[in-house]
Structure 1
Amino acid sequence: MKVYVFATISKLGMDVLTGTLIGAFIFWFVCIRHHGKGPKKYKIRRKGKYDLEYIPRTVTVPAVRGWKTSLVCKLANSYFGKMFLLDMMLQNGDFKIFRTIKMKINPTFYPNIELTEPCAKPGDINLTNEEIEEVLNGSDAKGDFDGNGFNFNCAQDFVRQYKSGETTPTAVAENAIIAITNSEKLNAIVKYDIASIKKQAAASTERYRTDTTLSPIDGVIIVVKDEFAVKGFPHTSGSSYRHPNEPAERDSGVVTKMRDLGCIVLAVANMHEFGIGTTGNNPNKGFGACRTPYHLDHFSGGSSSGCASAVGAGIATMGIGTDGGGSIRIPSAYCGVVGLKPTFARVTLAGVDGLSNSVGHAGPICNCVRDVALFHALMSGPDPEYPLGLKQPKVKLPKFGGNLDGIKIGIDRRYFKDCAPDMFKICSDALPLLESSGATLETTEFAEISDICIAHRITILSEMSTNISSDFDNEFNAISVPSRTLFALGRSVTAQDFIQANKQRTRAIEITEEFFKKYDALVTPTTAQTAPHIHPDDLAVGSTNPNQDSLNMRFVALGNFTGIPAITVPVGYNDEGLPVGFQIMCAWWREDIALQIAEYLERKIALQKPRIYNDILAP
């Protein structure tokens, strides 16, 4: 009996204890204040006073590959992920740093800078045929160094042989079709129509025969990133499910411009799915991991991966890419070619399926600086279908072939050296070349650059995850595994984070304006590492590697976030033969200065031939 009574009392005690604990938890969960708990220390940022400290930031989230990628994706998109994992990822990626910074300024959501010169008008001609010829006539970029170094075929080489009758656009197009097949391991080209290619080439050949060419670049071969609508091809943005059987009925605006000049649109090029990655690793069917022509075991970079790889492999003369977070410059650097991200809204994005509204740009990828300059001028200009770009000045181009007398270049050496040792050495070796050119090179400090990079990261991920929302909810399983994880992370960024990041953009623009009152250019490595090695487990479902993305994007974010133009040019190769890119950034609309500096460096650097290269001019 005593035992029974004791057991009854114990059970009652446990019930009371359990009920008390449950009640206390409910009270804590429902009634105790979570937000607004102080005191909390805030950093105050005031207008005109900028933080000059440089804080190297390394993302500490480990790389996940293979089945682990799928596991992380499942967790990130679960209730556990929403409550715990995504918050940890935001913390480790420094996404929360602006929550304790007070800025009494308005946010800037688009980096449209007020013009101080007359606006160009839709339909204005940036270059006359004579000016195009002048640029073309010096585009061989043979360099000032001794020896018989390698040189890419540039636009001038094609046009000269078309005019002389040594070859024809038809013959070159046939070679380009063969080059696509011979370079399949690169995964650079994803869609092409042989009948269409031959038809375009035959029309161009006939125009040369009858002296009725549409422009001085008639017959030049180009490829187009899958993010642009290209008539006759499904417009899929690197996905496996978007309109796979619905060919686009019209070209995007910039593709129309190129066709009107007589360019041959060879193919649609591979890209990182939706442009949300920087490696070019697209696990979707029909795409695959894109590789640099300098080494098949290394990624091409992304997201304009196929354009850079195809141009570097000699398949095309120019690729039309986009750049929301280095997506032109990163693959151009990894594939040993030249890529320009122009000023924000300089090139129309009409007909582009871009997800990054305020940081996205379109621009050219080519084998030499003069070709980049030429195509930049020809694809730029106001477009009524792209209102953001209606207020822009006419394109300026520099006089190529000279020195850099009078140009003042700033370098933040703390920022410049925040990269791999081989990158730092090779890019540092380019600095004396600039000094010997007549330019002045001055050490300076660029304020708040680390925070600007994080603010860009918050903004681009927020914009992309917002713009993909309907697909994310209705086509979830059709999206690649790594993209699902990143979109889930983007959806967990708060409105506070986004507003604060764009207040930081206001400061970034002010800082950049002050910098370019003193200097004509800012120089950095293009990336913090050479092309990343491909791990076997990267390929099946993709991988998630935030640290790698951080290294890829370390130097490119300023250009996207503030809208200033930036160009990458190869300045050497590491011990594995992988290219190293050097970046030049200039003030808004001053692409001419960036091009002038890049062209000077190009003349001083000996190029190396890619392991996979097609000479489509060869008989």
Structure 2
Amino acid sequence: MTQGHLGKSIAQLSVLIQSGSLDPVALVEESLDAIRAHKDQAIFTRLLETRAKEEAAASSRRLREGRSRGLLEGIPVAWKDLFAIAGLPTTAGSIVLANAEPAQDDAEVVKALKAAGMIAVGRVNMSEFAFSGLGLNPHYGTPHNPLASDVARIPGGSSSGSAVAVAAGLVPVSIGTDTGGSVRIPSAFNGLVGYKASRGRYSMAGVFPLATSLDSLGPLCRSVQDAVWVDAAMRGRAAPDVMRASLDSLSIVVPTNIVMDDVEDGVAEAFQAGLARLTAAGAKVRHAAFPAFDRLFQVMAEHGPLVTAEAFAVHHRRLAGPEAERMDRRVVARTRLGEKITLVGYLEILKARERLIEDTAGMIGPNELVAYPTVAHVAPALAPLEADDELFVSINSKTLRNTLIGNFLDWCGVSLPCGTGEAGMPVGLLLSAPRGRDEYLLAMAMALEDIVAG
């Protein structure tokens, strides 16, 4: 992995930049050089070299003149290939959009982070059209998990390049999207903090959709504090408004159904060890069954997945034409399943979702977070998944199982590193809260992350 400044957190870099010890121009050059020299050229799909150098020069000038825009001034950021960048087509990890009409303007959140002084260095790879939790991409290549030392392992998806870019020390933060786990899964697989904000917390203008009832955004980074700083800027705040909380009143509820089914031994051990450390630090931990978890999978089995219905609505014309031949066959097969979901079935899913959200909210106390493993397994080997479509479908389903619960129930969530499992690969502990409780979730996650990590 790349060393130097880029392996540091945003907070560490900010101290150096604000003190004058590190110039944004030098930092951006370091990032661009590291990206170009890295052995894995599947991480980035597009370098924004000219833009990055111009933004870095402007940032450096502001600092010299005493006009810093705040904590994020001069910090490099990478964008998942779903966010509109002015002058470029938004390709969404697909070659069928390579010649699409260029965006007239940046996505709103891209504008927001630029306004905070951050510097866009490039676009990163992803599962095509964001429709997989594994991160494989046959068009631009699959980024390899940089923490694997035995065999090539998957990065997780769909924000694959986002996670690998940070874990490999190429940028300190990347912004991803999360419809069924696409921020939290790759964060867990790569030993990072991944924050999925409540749906609607940020503007979705200029973000290529997968399923609008589920789509949300968030950063993949090295600490919760970094996530808090980026969250504030993405909402147009001049400074963060979330402070580290006290553990005094915290209660954690651990579900007893679904989320621990078929969990790898190493994942279970790392998760339980993280819980034990939280208990020792004073957090109250209780266990409870969540009937809504069983019910939501029953709804999916009866009517089909909500994400599939809405993804088919986005892509149905594409799937009916010649473009389908140039798409990832696995994405095509999964998306076409949405054609079988009737309008009545779709409306039944939405009605059941509202009821389950309400039922579950009543089970979570005002000072309570839900905790369970982010993913039931560590990042698996890449080669078998590329070779066997049935295995791909099976592992994709298992990978998404725990995180999609939060999307369906409209929760916000933070995946924290909590240890390692098989082959020394990272394990994530997922903390979740009902929609709109982001401030409490982030405040508590700041207080808990070092304890969880051990």
Same fold (TM over 0.5): yes
User: 1:529 Cα shift?
Assistant: 0.8
Q: What is aligned with 2:289? A: 445
Shift of 1:374: 1.4
1:508-547 equivalence runs, <5 A: 508-517=356-365, 520-535=368-383, 538=386, 545-547=392-394
Q: Is the 8 A contact 1:452 1:557 kept in 2?
A: no
Query: Does the alignment pair 1:213 with 2:68?
Result: yes
1:216-615 to 2 correspondences below 5 Å: 216-244=71-99, 246-284=101-139, 287-295=140-148, 297-380=152-235, 397-400=241-244, 403-418=246-261, 419-453=263-297, 455=299, 458-474=305-321, 475-517=323-365, 520-535=368-383, 538=386, 545-604=392-451
The residue type equivalent to 1:330 in the other structure is: I
Structure 2 distance, partners of 1:536, 1:505, is 35
Question: Does the residue aligned with 1:524 lie in a helix, a strand or coil?
Answer: strand
Shift of 1:356: 0.5
Letter in 1 for 2:87: G
Deviations 1:123-161 (A, max 9, x none): xxxxxxxxxxxxxxxxxxxxxxxxxxxx95111221221
Letter in 2 for 1:481: R
Q: Report the CA distance shift for 1:323/1:349 in structure 2 as closer, same or farther (over 3 A).
A: same
- State the superposition RMSD in angstroms: 2.4
Structure 1 residue 535, shift from structure 2 partner:
1.3
Contact 2:194 2:219 in 1 (8 A): yes
Structure 1: gaps spanning 5 or more residues: 1-150, 383-394, 608-619
Aligned counterparts of 2:7 and 2:274: Cα–Cα separation in 1 = 21
Report the Cα offset of residue 188 of structure 1: 1.6
2:3: which partner in 1?
none
Q: 1:297 to 1:461 in 2, by over 3 A?
A: same
* 1:281 aligned partner, one-letter code: L
Q: CA deviation at 1:606?
A: 5.4
2:9 to 140, 149, 154: 154
**Residues 245/468 of structure 1: CA separation in 2 closer, same or farther (3 Å cut):** closer
How far off its partner does 1:180 sit? Answer: 0.7
1:416 and 1:424 in contact (8 A); partners too:
no
* Corresponding letter in the other structure for 2:200: A
Distance 1:448 1:605, change over 3 A: closer
1:412 Cα shift? 1.6
Mapped partners of 2:297, 2:138: distance in 1: 27
Residues 410-448 of structure 1, C-alpha deviations (whole Å, 9 max, x = no match): 112344422111111110111112212222111111113
Q: TM-score, normalised by structure 2?
A: 0.91
Count of equivalent residues: 442
Q: Which runs of 4+ in 1 moved over 6 A?
A: 541-544
Return the letter of the residue paired with 1:513: A
SS of 1:553's equivalent in the other structure is helix
Q: Which residue number in structure 2 is paired with residue 102 of structure 1?
A: none
Give, in angstroms, the shift of residue 526 of structure 1: 0.3
Three-state SS of the structure 1 residue aligned to 2:67 is coil
Distance 2:290 2:231 in 1: 28
Give distance in 2, aligned partners of 1:376 and 1:582: 20
**Alpha-carbon shift at residue 381 of structure 1 (Å):** 6.7
Give the Cα–Cα distance (whole angstroms) in 1 for the partners of residues 171 and 92 of structure 2.
20
Change in Cα spacing, 1:537 to 1:158, as seen in structure 2 (3 Å) is closer
8 Å CA contact 1:565–1:586 kept in 2: the answer is yes
Q: CA distance change for structure 1 residues 435 and 496 in 2, over 3 Å: closer, same or farther?
A: same
Change in Cα spacing, 1:583 to 1:403, as seen in structure 2 (3 Å) is: same
Local SS of the residue matching 2:27:
helix
Measured against aligned partners, the alpha-carbon deviations of 1:317-357 in whole angstroms (never above 9, x if no partner) come to 22111111001111111111111111121111101111201
Separation (CA, whole Å) in 2 of partners of 1:397 and 1:275: 31
Q: Distance in 2 between matches of 1:570 and 1:355?
A: 27
**Amino acid corresponding to residue 469 of structure 1 in structure 2:** H
Flag the 1:404–1:351 CA change in 2: closer, same or farther, 3 A.
same
Q: Secondary structure at the match of 2:418?
A: strand
- Confirm or deny: 8 A CA contact 2:11 2:225 kept in the other structure: no
Deviation at 1:553, TM superposition (A): 1.3
* Maintained 8 Å contact 1:299/1:533: yes
Query: Deviations for 1:204-240, whole angstroms, at most 9, x for unmatched residues?
Result: 1111111112222110010011011012332111110
CA shift in 2, pair 1:183/1:515, >3 Å? farther
CA drift of 1:562 comes to: 2.2
Q: Which amino acid aligns with 1:378?
A: A
- Please list the CA deviations of residues 559-585 of structure 1 after superposition, one character each: whole Å capped at 9, or x if unmatched: 211212111010111241211000001
Q: Which amino acid aligns with 1:215?
A: G
TM-score, normalised by the number of residues in structure 1: 0.68
Residues 537 and 163 (structure 1), Cα distance of their counterparts in 2 relative to 1, 3 Å cut: closer
Structure 2 gap ranges (5+): 1-5
8 A contact 2:108–2:204 mirrored in 1: yes
Contact 2:421 2:427 in 1 (8 A): yes
Mean Cα displacement is larger for which, 594-603 or 527-536?
Answer: 594-603
Opposite residue 381 of structure 2, the aligned amino acid is H
Mapped partners of 1:529, 1:537: distance in 2: 15
* C-alpha distance in 1 between matches for 2:256 and 2:37: 43
Q: Deviations over 1:231-285 (max 9, x none)?
A: 233211111021436432210010010111110001011110001111110101x
Alpha-carbon displacement from aligned partner over 1:467-523 (angstroms, at most 9, x marks no partner): 101111122212221111112222122334323322220221122221124761110
Pick closer, same or farther for the CA change 1:306–1:338 going to 2, 3 Å: same
**Range 227-236 or range 490-499, more displaced:** 490-499
Check whether the contact 1:584–1:594 (CA below 8 A) recurs between aligned residues.
Answer: yes
